[in-house]
Structure 1
Amino acid sequence: MPYPITRAARTAALVAAASALAAVSTGCTPGADDNAAASPGYVSEDGSVRTWEPGQRPGPVVVTGTDYEGRAVDTGDWLGDVLVINTWYAACPPCRAEAPTLATLARDRAEQGVRVLGINVEDAAGAALAFQNTFDIPYPSIEDRDGLAVASLSGVVPLQAVPTTVVLDHQGRVAARIVGLAEESTLNSLVGDVVAESPVQ
């Protein structure tokens, strides 16, 4: 004989469902962030933001791979610059929403020594290049269906959370991270703070 559903059980189920929906809203395929409970920073309406003070930053991080034009990429060659790394794939709605922000940032801050690198975790060349053409993306993206490039960010990027955006400082260390949609003012503020730092800290 089935037991009746109590008001408390119904409430608990609704809370669990709401929590799951909130998690999904931050990205296309969100994953667990083991550091979330202890992370400083704040949660915006677009995604979870974490920053690290210079003496506490993980890294340096080096990402290597091949972009969709067939060129080798090694971020170790870019030490001294500020690097913004963004995970994405073409069918991901928040990835599409933030693409103009990332493209504008790459153009507007290039003279300040800011580089942007995409890591595509899903797409073959056709879909990825179509996305890049649609949004007039001026920076390279690594094809990473084998997950090796994202693995370079293990412990920093929740591996199933797409999009995630990471800001590396002049020394290649992780200065900031956005899990979910990168809102324009938030991303520009994070990047501006790192650009303003001394290259040697």
Structure 2
Amino acid sequence: MIRLFSSPRPVQTSKVAREKTYRRPIRRIGVAAIAAVTVFTLTACAQESGNSTDVVDQGYQSGDGSVRTWPVSERGESVVLTGTDFEGNPVDTSEFDNEIVVLNTWYAACPPCRAEAPDLLAIATERDSEGVHFVGINRTDEAGAALAFEREFGITWPSIQDTSGQAIATLAGVVPIKAVPTTVVLDKQGRVAARVLGQVEKSTLNTLIDDVLAENA
């Protein structure tokens, strides 16, 4: 008698098993990636190159709104920034001699830059009579995007179109600019008195300005 033996059937993997095998790792990776992007966006839109040490030998700081101030005795040389704005007009911070200048780096698609713009406008408007002037620095945008941002938020101060990086390089030689946005307060002698990495709160910037004004009271 001849017996016929059939080949053993391959083991079938159920649909549920396959989903457990492949979907769970993908889900975990997706959550981690989203979390990393979210943290990066909230802290700062971009990181700028610079030295690993600060003007007072402090290491790298993320763009989380952290504040650094410098006593008068520890401030370096005065900073003068020149260039042209997005309408082709000249910008020269030396015109604000014996007045306070607030420098702010930004670009139009940066979420923290957009979030802080109304507060910057309010401070610039409220404190203009006290001799407080704002100057923006934008090394990313073309004129169309930058001017649209300025119209949207009613910006009243000029911004240097810094596609060459010259203005940032001049400022970074005194105080590293490691995040966008970064806000720097210059005292009446044009020296760096304070810096905020990342989005600046209205109350914080007002306090920094008050402190510098009090130095010359």
TM-score, normalised to structure 1, is 0.80
2:43 is aligned with 1:26: yes
Match in the other structure for 1:169: 187
Q: Does the CA-based 8 Å contact 2:98-2:188 persist in structure 1?
A: yes
Q: Does the CA-based 8 Å contact 1:28-1:93 persist in structure 2?
A: yes
After superposition, the Cα gap between the structure-2 partners of 1:19 and 1:159, relative to the gap in structure 1 and judged at 3 Å, is same
Q: Does the CA-based 8 Å contact 1:46-1:183 persist in structure 2?
A: no
Match in the other structure for 2:129: 111
Letter of the 2:116 counterpart: E
Give 1:155 shift: 3.7
Give ranges in structure 2 of 5+ residues lacking alignment.
1-34
TM-score, normalised to structure 2, is 0.75
Q: Secondary structure at the match of 2:204?
A: helix
Aligned length: 180
* Higher Cα Rg, which structure: 2
Q: Secondary structure at the match of 1:118?
A: strand
The range that moved more, 74-83 or 31-40, is: 31-40
Structure 1 residues 132-147: aligned runs within 5 Å: 132-147=150-165
The range that moved more, 110-119 or 158-167, is: 158-167
After superposition, the Cα gap between the structure-2 partners of 1:19 and 1:46, relative to the gap in structure 1 and judged at 3 Å, is same
Give 1:156 shift: 4.2
After superposition, the Cα gap between the structure-2 partners of 1:21 and 1:30, relative to the gap in structure 1 and judged at 3 Å, is farther
Partner deviation per Cα, 1:141-190 (whole Å, 9 max, x = no partner): 11011101111112444345110000000000000000100111111100
After superposition, the Cα gap between the structure-2 partners of 1:119 and 1:45, relative to the gap in structure 1 and judged at 3 Å, is closer
Partner deviation per Cα, 1:20-74 (whole Å, 9 max, x = no partner): 976664211124652299449xx99941210000111122000000011211111
CA distance in 1, matches of 2:170, 2:126: 27
Pick one of 60, 66, 88 that aligns with 2:106.
Answer: 88
Give ranges in structure 1 of 5+ residues lacking alignment.
1-17
Structure 1 residues 124-135: aligned runs within 5 Å: 124-135=142-153
Cα root mean square deviation, aligned? 2.7
Letter of the 2:53 counterpart: D
Pick one of 52, 55, 60 that aligns with 2:73.
Answer: 55
Q: Does the CA-based 8 Å contact 2:47-2:179 persist in structure 1?
A: yes
Q: Does the CA-based 8 Å contact 1:88-1:118 persist in structure 2?
A: yes
Give 1:131 shift: 0.2
Q: Does the CA-based 8 Å contact 1:24-1:30 persist in structure 2?
A: no
Give 1:198 shift: 1.2
After superposition, the Cα gap between the structure-2 partners of 1:176 and 1:20, relative to the gap in structure 1 and judged at 3 Å, is farther
CA distance in 2, matches of 1:36, 1:29: 21
Q: Secondary structure at the match of 2:157?
A: coil
Q: Does the CA-based 8 Å contact 2:101-2:134 persist in structure 1?
A: yes
